[in-house]
Amino acid sequence: MKKFLSLLLVLAVLPVALLVVITPMDSQKQYIFGLISIGILCLMGLSKKRSISVIMVVMSVLLSTRYIYFRLTQTLHFNSEIETILGMGLFLAEVYVWVMLLLSYLQTVWPLKRELVQLPDDMSLWPTVDVYIPTYNEPLDVVRDTVLAAQCMDYPRDKMKIYLLDDGKRSEFAVFAADAGVGYITRNDNAHAKAGNLNHAMKLTNGELICVFDCDHVATRIFLQATVGGFLKDPKLALVQTPHYFYSPDPFERNLSVGRNIPNEGALFYGPIQQGNDNWNATFFCGSCAVIRRSALEEIGGFAVETVTEDAHTALKMQRLGWGSAFIDIPLAAGLATERLVLHVIQRTRWARGMTQIFRLDNPLFGRGLTIQQRLCYLSAMLYYQFALPRIAFVTAPLAYLLFNLNIIHSSASLVFAYALPHLFLAVYVNSRLNGRFRYSFWGEIYDLVMAFHIALPTMVTMLFPKRGKFNVTDKGGLLDVGYFDFSVVRPHLIIALLLAAGVVAGIVRACAHDYFGVDPRVIVLNVGWGLYSLIFLLAAIAVARETRQTRKTIRIDVDIPVLIHYASGITSRSQTADLSMGGCRIVAPDDRHLTDEIEAIELLLQSGAISIPVQTVASDEQHIRLMFDDIPLSRRRELVRVVLSRADAWIHPPKPQDNPFRSLLTIVRCVFDLFWLTWKSRRETRRLRAQQAAKVAQEESV
């Protein structure tokens, strides 16, 4: 009955919606209609109800569809072939954005807040779990703590086996595995990269469930207890995915002056998008921090090897056969983000190629087994990585008029703006309301612009030749002693930025002398504004290439643990830690003895016992003492991992403040200002050092 009433409501509203979309208006009436729509939206925004959010989504869809209909029916008239090519390219880019807007609303308007399923009290009923940690060329320093953290998971020892899957076939890894007491698996070749490595391990193990961690992802103690219960409750559940949380800053967080104040780039996907996918039983397997039922994997022939994104393709195959999936929105493990922008580009290029391969080889729109909602969720993910050409089209479109006087939108400036204003305003406002704690307004444009010029060609080639290309591993755990500006990554951005700057200057000149040039000043103003907008975001993307120093190898977390300080004189003092990492700690100075007496070791007083760690003093003052740990035995390091990295609440932090679109835009402008300020400051410092060096040389020569 409820479905029947819903259908009647849709049929009743459909004619009204159609009128909203197709009714033509002149610029004055469209301005009034748009402003009324914006006013209604702002009034509804005062309510926080989910039902109001759904109505706002419907309004946004209608106004955006109205804009696309206007563009289709009134603006696609051109005077030359080049204008036709450029104009149709821009229109298709806008259609792409409209489609992605609709798909994103499908994914995020109904997020599923899944609760944890408790395991039964009788541990004999708990399933057996094989923990796989695949590695290829990563250093042992990165992999070691991942293995030790896996050993710290609270799960019966006789029901959990940990395996280090070493495709690098390195002797030191075999020795470490033996010392740590975990299984070590290697193979004769590296066929199918990570997927092949996992499939080979499946043949040699027999756990009912398979838990996968990338070699830099350290699990919290409760990981298995929080994820395994669902498999007992639902025999058709194949996958439980948890967020990828990164405890080191990515290039955007580290290189931009305001990077730490904005949500992480992946927060939107590992928040509302995956929660929305979960609502439609379309949770993506993300390659790590997940548990999978072995029988489901065996039914599809193991991890997918046809594409370089074996994770999402594996989930798609299982869901085609009717298996269920789940997403738990709690960070239960943490890993290392890409350290440098060039590595970030390489990683995202592989993801773009892989999703394009799936689109070509196993398109979710076709084939059996998926619901309409599942097909659309996967389509959204695959189409997203085709953003390169639309982004390039948007950012370069003003140049057509400003530099070459080409009209690629056949309409008056006032009419275009009247239709575009409500479309853009509602899209920004509604997305900010739905996802504002996970992705701040306009920041998605920066993330995409950084990548657009690099993934455009790979995605086009993959679309034509889907079997080309190979899997590449993203380097993790690197350090950067000296900061630098990576021109190689943003060279195309710099070229387009210079052209836009020239176009803006040319447009201002033409606007000031519009009578002489015989042009409509409103058209020039529209294109100059568009060019300035594009230039701001290009410069913000360029700012990400200013690589800052990365000298700290381990992350410090705030934790208060009782500690005994052992001095060289034999005296012992009691204190507590201010922060702690796998490489050292900062402790509260109990007195001023550390200023004269050397500290040889400390003891962390834990509930499980005391850990004695030899240390060296790095720095100290009257309030705190900074210490660096010396090499410690594996058993002690495992206990340290339990304290620092494997605490149940280690990665649970309060969410970011709710987004304010206007403030977010000002923050991006600040990033641009900081780019120029820091560049000028750096050059001034370089000139000063060169002058000092020249003066020193001159003085030595005179002597």
Place of tokens 């959010």: 53
**Region label for 367, one of left (φ > 0), alpha (ψ between -120 and 50) or beta (otherwise):** left
Greatest Cα-to-Cα distance within the chain, rounded to the nearest angstrom: 100
- In DSSP terms, which residues pair with 218 in a beta bridge? 334
Structure tokens at 675: 């780019």
Angle between helices 81-108 and 388-404 (to 10 degrees): 140
Q: Torsions phi, psi of 196, nearest 5?
A: -65, -35
Q: What distance in Å separates the CA atoms of residue 677 and residue 239, rounded to the nearest whole number? A: 49
Q: What distance in Å separates the CA atoms of residue 318 and residue 303, rounded to the nearest whole number? A: 10
* Beta-carbon contacts of residue 302 (< 8 Å; ≥ 6 apart): 195, 198, 199, 202
CA dihedral sign of residues 69, 73, 75, 76: positive
CA dihedral sign of residues 180, 181, 187, 190: negative
Distances (CA, A) of 277 to 32, 113, 360, 396, 546: 37, 11, 21, 34, 35
Q: What distance in Å separates the CA atoms of residue 671 and residue 665, rounded to the nearest whole number? A: 10
Place of tokens 């040889």: 600
Q: What distance in Å separates the CA atoms of residue 453 and residue 439, rounded to the nearest whole number? A: 22
Contact 416, 401 (CB under 8 A): no
Within a 10 A sphere around the Cβ of 582, how many other Cβ atoms? 21
Catalytic site residues?
167, 311
Residue 611's Cα: distance from chain center in Å? Answer: 37
Q: What distance in Å separates the CA atoms of residue 21 and residue 16, rounded to the nearest whole number? A: 9
Task: Give the helix, strand, coil percentages of the chain, each rounded to 5.
Answer: 55, 15, 30
Q: Torsions phi, psi of 521, nearest 5?
A: -60, -30
Contact 459, 523 (CB under 8 A): no
CA angle 221, 224, 226 (to 5 degrees): 90
Contact 137, 168 (CB under 8 A): yes
Nearest one of 549, 548, 550, 539 to 490, comparing CA atoms = 539
Q: Would you call 184 helix, strand, or coil by DSSP?
A: strand
Structure tokens at 268: 């939107």
Contact 34, 422 (CB under 8 A): yes
